[in-house]
Structure 1
C-alpha cells in the first residue's frame, strides 16, 4: 500500500522580514507543475489560515526558497524563489525576494553545499528569478553559521548576526532595461509614474497623486479598496508598457507610493505586494526605489535630498522603521548607471527536519516509498 504522506527534508528559516521553508531542489519534483502542487500542500494553500500547512497566513510568511549547487562559473548555488499564494492555488516564481535570500547563504552552509571559509564565508548566489548574481557574506566562526549578534533590522524583533547582501547586475533584470518604457516618467490615467526594473519591476508614484500622504499605516491603506482598484488599473497598463504582458494574474510590477522623509531618511515608501501593503519593505523593491532616488527627472526627485557621499547611502522609511542600502551608481537624467547595491539583513534557523505533504500531492514519491 502506498504511503499516505510524503516526507520532504527542509529547514524552516526567517530571512530578513520574511519566513518560509528552504528546500534543496533535488528533494522536490523536477516538473514545475508537480512541484507547485507539493508547495501548495506544504504551506497549506489555498486557505486564509493555511491551517493544514506551515504557511503563516500572510504574504511575508508564505514564501519558499529552492536551492541547488550551481553549474555556473563563479557561482556557488542557484536560488529560485517561490511566492505561494495564501488564498489561491497559485505559486509564482516570477518575482524575486531579497529578504528570503538572506537565508540562502546560511542554508547553503548548513546543508554542505558550500564549505565554510574561516570566520567569515562568502556565498555566491545566482538568483534564478531575475538572472542576477548576489554575494552573501555570512559569519562562520569555528566553521559554524553564527546567528547571534547585535544587528537589528526594522520589522524583526531583537538582534542577530549580520548578513551582507551585495546585488550585482540587477539593472533590467526582468524587463531588459532599467527604464523599460524608455521614459523617466510616464502618465497613465492622469497619474505620473516611473516604471523601473532593478532587481524587481516596479511602478512608482507619489502618494499624493492618489489622495494619500504616504505616512498611512499598512492597515489604513489596505482598508481603502477604492484606491487599490484605481492603482490596479494603472498597474495593469504599466505592466503592458513594461513588456510584461497581461499582469492581472501576476504580482509584478509591484507598486510603491512615496513621500518626503520625516525621520531623517532619504525617502518614505509604502510598498504594495501588489494588492496589500508590505508590513515593512522588500529588499528588491528597495533597490529599485533607491535607483529612482538617483534619477534626477523621475517621480522621486522632488522628494529626495540625495546624500553627497559615494556610494550613496539611501535610507527608506517604511511602516516598520527603515531599510538602508549602499548604492554604487551615477545619478542622471533620463537614466542612471547602476553598478551594485548592498544591504544588511539577518536570518535565523528555526527548525530542521521534514515537511509532510499528502500522498495525493506527489503520488509518484508515495508509491516509491511503499
Structure 2
C-alpha cells in the first residue's frame, strides 16, 4: 500500500475468467488483519451498494468477485488462491464458497506473473484453492515460449474467440461435505412449508448442488432470466428447497435463519430434458446439441450462463445412477453438453463407486480468460483510520 495524500493506493488487476469478472489482489499488498483487509476490499469494490457505483465492482454477483493470491503454501502448488464473493447488499465477503470461472483467470495470472515456468505446448499451473483445500490444474497454452492468447475456442456468454484454458479439478468429490452424496441417497424427498413435496438430488463435487426437476417447480427449464427472476413465488419455493437440501447435506442447521445472499451453499439447480428446439439468450440450438438443460440459481437469481462448479457437479451427477440428472441426461459417456440461458457448456466427469460413496477421477471443462487492466485502486485513508 502507498499513501497518496488522503488516499491509499493498492495494486490491483482486473481479469475476466469464464463468465465471471473480478479483482486479483496479492495478500502482500493488503493488511494481515483480516477484518481491516476485508473493509478495504469492500471499499475497493464499492460495497455495500447494489450498483457499486463508487467502486470497481460491476453491480452483479458475477462481476463482484475476488481472488486473493500469494506464494504457494504447499509444495504441490504454484500459487495459492482464496476466492471471495463480495456482497452487493451487505458489508461482508463470503469465503465459504469457490468460483471455478475465476480459476481460469488465476491460472493465466500465475503464468503471466512467473509463478509457473512456461513450457510448450501446455503449461500446467497447479492452483491451491484454500477455500476447499484442493488443487486444480489450469492448462495454459504456450507457443514459441510465450502464452498463446489467440485461438478458436469460445464459451457461451462471452463474445469472441480465445485460446482454451482447460481446468481439471483433482479429487473434487465431497469438496464441502466429504461425501459425493452427502445424504447417502441418489434421490431424497423434502417437504416445504405449504406441504408440497419435491424430489431432489444433492451432489457435492467442486460445489454442493441441490438438483430439482424444472417441471416439478412449474417451469420448463428453457426459461431465460426475466421469467425466473421476476417470479417471486418460484424463487421462494426454490429457496425453501435449497435450505432443505442444505440441512440434508449438513451445511445448514435446522431452524437456522438463512438467505441466499448470506448463506450461499448449497446452490440450487433446475434441470430438464432437452426439447426439440431451444431458444437461448444469444442463439437457438437443436436438441441433439444438448444433453441436459440446467438453470443455475446464484444468490437468489438465475445465473446468466452457468457456474463452472455447478457444471462439474452436474457432469458428475449425470454419471451416478439414480440421481435426477442421470435420469434426465441424454449423454451416455463422460462428457455432458449443458444447455443454459446463454448457450451451451461442455463438461466432463469420470466417477467410480467407492464403498458406500463415489469417487471423482476427473472433472474438467474448458474456459477462457483475459487480463483487462492493471493499476492501483484508491482507498480513503479514513477506512484505515476507522479500523486502526
TM-score normalised by structure 2 residue count: 0.89
Distance 1:329 1:257 in 2: 22
User: Secondary structure of 2:327's match?
Assistant: helix
**CA drift at 1:11:** 1.2
- How many residue pairs get aligned? The number is 363
In the alignment, which residue of structure 1 is the partner of 2:269?
256
Aligned pair 1:217/2:230, yes or no? no
In the alignment, which residue of structure 2 is the partner of 1:339?
361
Residues 111-126 of structure 1: pairs in structure 2 closer than 5 A: 111-126=113-128
Residues 1-370 of structure 1: pairs in structure 2 closer than 5 A: 3-189=5-191, 190-245=197-252, 246=256, 247-248=258-259, 249-262=262-275, 263-264=287-288, 265-308=290-333, 312-330=334-352, 335-363=357-385
Taking only aligned residues, the RMSD between alpha carbons, in angstroms, comes to 2.1
With over 3 angstroms needed to count, the CA separation of the structure-2 counterparts of 1:289 and 1:112, relative to structure 1, is same
Long gaps (5+) in structure 2 = 192-196, 276-286
Long gaps (5+) in structure 1 = none
User: Secondary structure of 1:326's match?
Assistant: strand
Q: Is the 8 A contact 1:255 1:274 kept in 2?
A: no
Distance 2:268 2:296 in 1: 6
Distance 1:24 1:364 in 2: 22
Superposed CA deviations along residues 258-305 of structure 1, whole A, max 9, x for unmatched, are: 000232222100000130100000001101111111121112233112
Following TM superposition, where does structure 1 have runs of at least 4 consecutive aligned residues deviating by more than 4 angstroms? 331-335
Q: Is the 8 A contact 2:14 2:22 kept in 1?
A: yes
User: Secondary structure of 1:300's match?
Assistant: helix
Using the TM superposition, name which of 267-276 and 135-144 deviates more. Answer: 135-144
Superposed CA deviations along residues 119-151 of structure 1, whole A, max 9, x for unmatched, are: 431100111111111111112334433322211
User: Secondary structure of 1:325's match?
Assistant: strand
Using the TM superposition, name which of 166-175 and 139-148 deviates more. Answer: 139-148
Distance 1:35 1:143 in 2: 37
Using the TM superposition, name which of 83-92 and 111-120 deviates more. Answer: 111-120
Distance 2:66 2:235 in 1: 26
TM-score normalised by structure 1 residue count: 0.93
